[in-house]
Structure 1
Amino acid sequence: MTEPQKPRRRQSERAKTTRQQIISAAGLLFEEKGYEGAAINEIIELAGTNKGGFYFHFPGGRHDLAVAILNSTLAMEGLQPQELKLQEVVDTGSILAYRITKEADLRAALRLSLHKNARDIYGTPWPDWITINTTQLTEAQQRGEVRAGVSPTEQAYQIAGAWAGLVVVSEAIDGHLNNVEERVARMYMNLLSTIAHPGTLPEVDFSMDRGRRLYTAHLERKSTPPPDATA
């Protein structure tokens, strides 16, 4: 009974691989040339596929690719529940700060999200990210981690704007993102110092390598095969 399923599994794995290759190729070209400058034929060639394979996965062309890349910014992979909700606020941005130094898809997502007509063309992840941070900050306030009178929504807007601005300015000034993790860690420390309960702030880990540690642990968990149920 299991033998006929193997070809289907292999086909499914190949399809996933092809889809990711297309997304990765698009990420590189969107990052380099922007949304309008990245030609479909260039993406297909860089991905090592053909038009049939491309449009099978992305029938809407560049639009569907942009949506897929932007959705990757909200995957929140590596984020783990913490005793302090403020720690989760920091971890959300710290993981993405680490990933953006490694993944062209996320760098492309940031560029796409800052397009002046992004909301009308393919959407933008910023409202959803603000909602995530607002929810985290609201729960943190309910637990007494955040000072009374602080507006979680307003703070969430500030965090999103500060995070994006730091990444863009760091790359513009330095020509690379090697320093962005340290700058993001300091940003969170500065922002949270104005809203956190004095007894809570010392318990928050603002280490510049926290995002790397969390995401690396996540990848290790994903690559570890499940225990043999028959053992």
Structure 2
Amino acid sequence: MNTPSPDNPRQRRQQQRAIDTRARILDAAGQVFLEKGYDGASIADILFAADTTKGALYGHFKGKLEIAKAIMADTLTMDGLVPQRVKLQEVVDIGMILAYRLVNEPALLAALTLSFHHNAREIYGTPWPDWIQFNIGQLTDAKERGEVRPHVAPEEHAYQISGAWSGLAFTGRAIDGDLSNFQARVSVMYKSMMAAIAQPEVLPFVDFSADRGERLYTAFLAEHRSSPGSEQP
């Protein structure tokens, strides 16, 4: 039997369909988890929302728990982040990218909501420790470069960043009913926090634009789609 070549167009289309199906299931599951919570959601609900079959779903996931774990694992990625001359810019950038994605990706919003389940870490995990560790690393590098003030403790401020970011998401949904102003509010949050910890001469070189996350992430997606091996469905 002939093994299909990795460059075979038919094989690439099949691989892309599998990727698209998985993403559709996760997005649909995210919406179901948002509406019904993890405990209230069922596989039948997810199948209906994803408009797919049991065979397609179980070809990717063993069940609801594995779907929730995948949502959490896929949530906190560094996709779209580009190395910057000023390290504090990277701290801002990942938060702005995630803010843009939160508005546009149901699975990401679901992950945020699921992460506050009282025993999320024991059930399906939570992305917060990874983000905190990332911010600790970036703030530590920034401090070594002299970008932040001497009193700054990276561990303490890393917690402040993740807490303030998630708090804005929840208050935005509670007060506004949606996340239409979320990116602008995250931008203001970072301006305030960086004004408190950054050396004054560094601040003019940090871009706090509300659309920065969108620009970085859409550029990443465009590059990914045009790279060898990527194919539009």
C-alpha RMSD of the superposition: 1.8
Q: Which residue of 96, 99, 102 corresponds with 2:104? A: 102
In 2, the alpha carbon distance for the partners of 1:3 and 1:10 equals 16
Native 8 Å contact 2:32 2:49 kept in 1: no
In 2, the alpha carbon distance for the partners of 1:219 and 1:144 equals 33
Higher relative contact order (CA 8 A, sep 6+): 2
**Correspondence list, 1:126-145, <5 A:** 126-145=128-147
**TM score, norm. by length of structure 1:** 0.92
**Correspondence list, 1:77-88, <5 A:** 77-88=79-90
- Where do 5+ consecutive residues of structure 1 fail to align? 227-231
In 2, the alpha carbon distance for the partners of 1:4 and 1:70 equals 33
Q: Report the CA distance between 1:201 and its aligned residue.
A: 1.4
Native 8 Å contact 2:32 2:46 kept in 1: yes
Amino acid at match of 1:156: A
In 2, the alpha carbon distance for the partners of 1:101 and 1:221 equals 21
Q: Report the CA distance between 1:36 and its aligned residue.
A: 1.1
Can you list the C-alpha shifts for 1:147-184, whole angstroms capped at 9, x where unaligned?
11311011000000000000110111000111111110
Can you list the C-alpha shifts for 1:54-85, whole angstroms capped at 9, x where unaligned?
222111x1111111111222112111100011
Q: Which residue of 20, 24, 28 corresponds with 1:25? A: 28
Aligned residues: 225
Q: Which residue of 56, 60, 66 corresponds with 1:57? A: 60
User: Which contiguous aligned blocks of 4+ residues in structure 1 show a shift greater than 3 angstroms?
Assistant: 6-11
The match for 1:146 is 148
The match for 1:4 is 4
Can you list the C-alpha shifts for 1:184-217, whole angstroms capped at 9, x where unaligned?
0010111111111111112111111111111121
The match for 1:69 is 71
The match for 1:203 is 205
Question: Identical aligned pairs, as a percentage?
Answer: 55
Amino acid at match of 2:178: H
In 2, the alpha carbon distance for the partners of 1:167 and 1:78 equals 20
Q: Report the CA distance between 1:12 and its aligned residue.
A: 2.5
